């Protein structure tokens, strides 16, 4: 595994926490189990809240239920009652008497306090039987030991999230040492370059305020959601990320690429052969792509369009341009099913124009592999495939354009691997919209975005209904009705096979049950663990109508086009992202008949499920749905942490900080205007840091 990058340019932050006093091997291990291993990790293990222990409260003024510090003199102490299970210490100040009680205690320790000893006690105030103030299991400190730097008294004390097996006091102590030994060494070039409201203080100060609030901290400083230190740390992360994206884009714009600027005969041929004319959105996209390809720098374009907006034709148009200019085109799809669907469509468009199209999917025997290789090395002008296109052995004769149909399944890494197959191929990424605007900016920060706003056949209306688990029988009734009319249906399950851990409907059992329930209908099963050829056979029988019900996992999410399929039932629907469900239902009602989608929640759907599924019943707008999901669940869950491709930020939260990103971008744009190479005294360190943090992950040339 690649060593992780320290959060700031300070090698010391890669040190193990075990190097701090008070962190023995056992504590280190327990911290590591929480992912807290290095000093850098420790600095970003931030307090969840704070306790205000600045000033002692007089006994008379104690309030029930609140944490308080009391300074007083011991009056008396001793075991209570006959059994001696409780130890009580009375403390007194000028205003009253406080009882401190222990149910678990080290007797010798408590007996070491004698009358007239001056103590500080810290604890939550409760009321005794007679309404007198008391504290149960308070912390005790001798007044003589409490100096100005005491970690627990006379200050605001951070409360860290609990770490199993590591005491709160231990955490506070070593974090104190960590902050003291490291923050001063953190160099931050950003203050002075960013306005105060964006970036209120240097990162070092932010970290030390987070862990050790000043004595004069305001309530806002002590709210980890509102504090200026949080703003600073979040912007520190976002700024470098955004700058990384800008550098990425500039790198691409500066690198040479094969200009693909043919007369356009193939494209004209393609358009002439289409049974329809392009929508305005498609026309615009094709025009932009044509312009991009003609330049001697690589295109980087993201084409966003909801299911059914006609992205494939646009991709075919791009392929025509590249091929006519003498280059090869690679088209990569997330699943073999989709790759084959693309192969069929693209062959239909391109082969009549004399363009050779070949398939490259994984597996197969030696002969298949040799065929792939031959195709790549010049035998085919367009190669359609899965991740097999990334195979080390596959080298292309003259790859000029890479088209990735991604349905948010490929991460940045895969994109880069394919892009590395040619010096700098032109890149076109297709995405079935549901990337919310705010996310699209982050995910595709280095790509130009084109939208296909309209569906050529008008909005795809699929009547959608959400059912609770107890009412699932209604879905079976509907299925029965659909089959009775001679139509077909999909039943989608979240899992292939039952698992003990996850209680969700599995495809294997569902297919078995439905086959039993509908003995005179052919029910078939399709899932990603089946071999490619077997999948093709199953799909073929469904397409031809030989089988009537297709029970499947999400392999059908994309690329299956069966006009007679009018019903989609999704089991365990809450387990899918809304956008994913939206894409799924786009599979039905593609013929003349209207489609219908029934979302059946699992037995324990959770609180949000109903609300989320209701969104789908209400709207057909993919973007609106994606925004709603983002809003309800945050980007990680809404899109799948890995699928979202979002970088793991430590402090920044996309849903709350994204609105500041446009300003960061403006600021970066101004920097670049003033100092295009970011080589000046002020900006060089910022550029260096962006490359240090993001160079490898974003594949920046400068990262070496
Ligand atoms: P998606 O964007 O989901 O990949 P497709 O490219 O599969 O959409 O197109 C969906 C359907 O719309 C296809 O059957 C395609 O032939 C058809 N189509 C595409 N563009 C147009 C158009 N301009 N007019 C009419 N039909 C179109
Ligand atoms: Mg498509």
The mean pLDDT of 521-528, rounded to a whole number, is 91
pLDDT of residue 630: 64
Residue 639 has pLDDT above 70, yes or no: no
Helices (H), 58-159: 107-111
Mean pLDDT to the nearest integer, 98-103: 95
Residue 245 falls in which region: left (phi positive, over 0), alpha (psi -120 to 50) or beta: alpha
How far away, in angstroms, is 64 Cα from ligand 2 center?
63
Residue 641: what pLDDT?
40
Confidence check: pLDDT of 213 > 80: yes
Å from CA of 279 to ligand 1 middle: 10
Q: Is the pLDDT of residue 1 over 60?
A: no
Residue percentage of the chain with pLDDT more than 70:
88
Q: Which residue minimizes the CA distance to atom 12 of ligand 1?
A: 310
Ligand having the closest approach to the CA of 405: 2
CB 647, CB 635: distance < 8 Å? no
Whether the per-residue pLDDT at 445 is higher than 70: the answer is: no
**Residue to mutate, 271, 312, 452, ligand 1, most ligand atoms under 8 Å from C-beta:** 312
What is the Å distance from ligand 2's center to 78 Cα? 78
> Which run of H or E residues covers position 579?
helix 578-585
Residues 6+ apart with CB under 8 A from 606: 574
**pLDDT over 60 (residue 434):** no
Q: What pTM did the predictor assign?
A: 0.68
Digit-coded pLDDT (tens) for 414-430: 455 555 555 678 989 88
Pick the residue whose CA is nearest to atom 9 on ligand 1: 310
Q: Which residues line ligand 1 (CB under 6 A)?
A: 276, 278-279, 282, 305, 307-313, 456
When mean pLDDT is compared across 119-128, 159-168, 301-310, 478-487, the lowest value belongs to 301-310
Ligand nearest to the CA of 583: 1
Check if the beta carbon of residue 402 is closer than 8 Å to that of residue 419.
yes
Q: Of 10-24, 432-446, 491-505, 557-571, which has the strongest mean pLDDT? A: 10-24
Provide the pLDDT for residue 643.
43
pLDDT at 682: 96
Q: Read off the pLDDT of each residue in 294-300 and give the average, rounded to a whole number.
A: 91
Would you say 178 and 38 are in contact if contact means Cβ atoms under 8 Å apart?
no
- Ligand 1 atom nearest residue 311's Cα: 2
The closest residue, in CA terms, to atom 17 on ligand 1 is 310
Above pLDDT 90, what percent of the chain?
Answer: 53
In which band, very low, low, confident or very high, does the pLDDT at 14 lie, cut at 50, 70 and 90? very high
Closest ligand 1 atom to Cα of 305? 2
Could you tell me the distance, in angstroms and rounded to a whole number, from the CA of residue 457 to the centre of ligand 1? 8
All domains in the chain, ordered by first residue: 11-50+159-223 (no CATH), 55-154 (2.40.50.140), 265-452 (3.40.50.300), 462-643 (3.40.50.300)
If you measure from the C-alpha of residue 342 to the centroid of ligand 2, how many angstroms do you get, rounded to a whole number? Answer: 8
The confidence score (pLDDT) of residue 553 equals 84
Q: How confident is the model at residue 114, as a pLDDT? A: 94
Instruction: Dig out the tokens for 226 from the structure.
Output: 């509102």
pLDDT value of residue 644: 43
How confident is the model over 245-257, as pLDDT tens digits? 888 778 877 888 8
How far is the centre of ligand 1, averaged over its atoms, from the C-alpha of 516 (Å)? Answer: 37
Q: How confident is the model at residue 674 (pLDDT cuts 50, 70, 90)?
A: very high
Mean confidence (pLDDT) of the chain: 86
pLDDT at position 673, please?
A: 96
Tell me which residue has its CA closest to atom 20 in ligand 1. 310
Give residue 671's Cα distance to chain centre. 29
Q: What is the pLDDT of residue 353?
A: 96
Nearest CA to ligand 1 atom 25: 456
d(CA 614, CA 621): 14
pLDDT at 11 over 60: yes
pLDDT in tens, 137-152: 999 999 999 988 788 8
333 Cα to the center of ligand 1, angstroms: 17
| Residue 97 pLDDT > 50 | yes
Structure tokens at 504: 């969700």
Q: How far is the CA of 143 from the centre of ligand 2 (A)?
A: 73
Say which residue the tokens 């809003």 belong to: 631
Which pLDDT band holds residue 556 (cuts at 50, 70, 90)?
low
Confidence (pLDDT) at 127: 93
Which residues, in sequence order, are CB contacts of 106 under 8 Å at separation 6+? Answer: none
């Amino acid at each position: 595994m690649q060593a992780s990058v320290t959060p700031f340019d300070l090698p010391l932050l890669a040190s193990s926490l075990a190097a701090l006093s008070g962190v023995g091997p056992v504590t280190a291990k327990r911290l590591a189990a929480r992912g807290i291993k290095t000093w850098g990790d420790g600095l970003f293990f931030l307090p969840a809240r704070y306790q205000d222990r600045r000033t002692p409260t007089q006994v008379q003024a104690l309030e029930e239920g609140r944490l308080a510090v009391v300074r007083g003199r011991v009056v008396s102490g001793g075991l209570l009652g006959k059994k001696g299970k409780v130890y009580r210490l009375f403390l007194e100040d000028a205003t009253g008497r406080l009882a401190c009680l222990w149910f678990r205690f080290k007797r010798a320790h408590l007996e070491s306090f004698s009358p007239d000893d001056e103590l500080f006690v810290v604890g939550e105030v409760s009321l005794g039987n007679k309404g007198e103030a008391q504290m149960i299991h308070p912390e005790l400190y001798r007044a003589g030991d409490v100096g100005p730097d005491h970690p627990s008294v006379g200050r605001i004390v951070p409360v860290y999230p609990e770490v199993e097996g590591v005491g709160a006091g231990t955490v506070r102590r070593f974090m104190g040492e960590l902050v003291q030994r490291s923050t001063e060494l953190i160099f931050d070039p950003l203050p002075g370059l960013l306005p105060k409201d964006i970036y209120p203080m240097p990162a070092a100060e932010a970290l030390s305020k987070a862990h050790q609030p000043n004595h004069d901290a305001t309530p806002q400083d002590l709210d980890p959601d509102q504090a200026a230190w949080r703003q600073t740390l979040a912007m520190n992360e976002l700024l470098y990320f955004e700058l990384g994206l800008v550098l990425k884009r500039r790198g691409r714009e500066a690198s040479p690429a094969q200009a693909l600027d043919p007369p356009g005969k193939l494209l004209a041929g393609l358009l002439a052969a289409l049974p329809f004319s392009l929508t305005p959105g498609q026309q615009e996209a094709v025009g932009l792509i044509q312009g991009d390809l003609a330049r001697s720098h690589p295109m980087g374009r993201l084409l966003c369009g909801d299911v059914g907006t006609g992205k494939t034709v646009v991709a075919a148009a791009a392929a025509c341009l590249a091929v006519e200019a003498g280059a090869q085109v690679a088209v990569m799809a997330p699943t073999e099913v989709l790759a084959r669907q693309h192969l069929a469509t693209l062959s239909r468009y391109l082969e009549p124009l004399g363009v050779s199209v070949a398939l490259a999917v994984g597996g197969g025997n030696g002969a298949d592999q040799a065929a792939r290789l031959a195709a790549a090395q010049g035998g085919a002008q367009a190669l359609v495939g899965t991740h097999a296109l990334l195979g080390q052995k596959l080298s292309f004769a003259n790859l000029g354009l890479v088209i990735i149909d991604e349905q948010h399944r490929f991460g940045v890494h895969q994109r880069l691997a394919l892009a590395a197959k040619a010096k700098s191929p032109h890149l076109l990424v297709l995405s079935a919209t549901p990337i919310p605007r705010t996310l699209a900016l982050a995910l595709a920060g280095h790509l130009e975005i084109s939208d296909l706003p309209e569906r050529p056949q008008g909005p795809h209306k699929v009547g959608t209904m959400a059912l609770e688990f107890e009412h699932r029988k209604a879905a079976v009734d509907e299925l029965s009705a659909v089959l009775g009319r001679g139509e077909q249906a999909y039943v989608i399950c979240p899992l292939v096979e039952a698992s003990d851990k996850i209680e969700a409907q599995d495809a294997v059992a569902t297919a078995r049950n439905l086959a039993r329930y509908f003995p005179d209908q052919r029910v078939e099963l399709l899932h990603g663990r089946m071999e490619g050829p077997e999948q093709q056979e199953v799909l073929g029988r469904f397409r031809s109508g030989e089988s009537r019900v297709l029970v499947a996992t999400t392999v059908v999410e994309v690329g299956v086009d069966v006009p007679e399929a009018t019903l989609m039932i999704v089991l365990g629907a809450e387990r899918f992202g809304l956008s994913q469900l939206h894409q799924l239902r786009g599979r039905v009602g593609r013929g003349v008949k209207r489609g219908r989608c029934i979302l059946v929640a699992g037995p324990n759907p959770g609180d949000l499920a109903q609300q989320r599924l209701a969104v789908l019943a209400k709207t057909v707008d993919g973007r609106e749905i994606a925004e709603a999901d983002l809003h309800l669940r945050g980007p990680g869950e809404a899109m799948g942490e890995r699928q979202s491709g979002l970088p793991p930020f430590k402090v920044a939260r996309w849903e709350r900080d994204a609105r500041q990103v446009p300003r960061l971008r403006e600021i970066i744009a101004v920097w670049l205007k003033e100092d295009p190479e970011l080589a000046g005294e002020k900006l060089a360190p910022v550029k260096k840091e962006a490359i240090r943090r993001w160079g490898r992950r974003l594949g920046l040339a400068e990262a070496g």
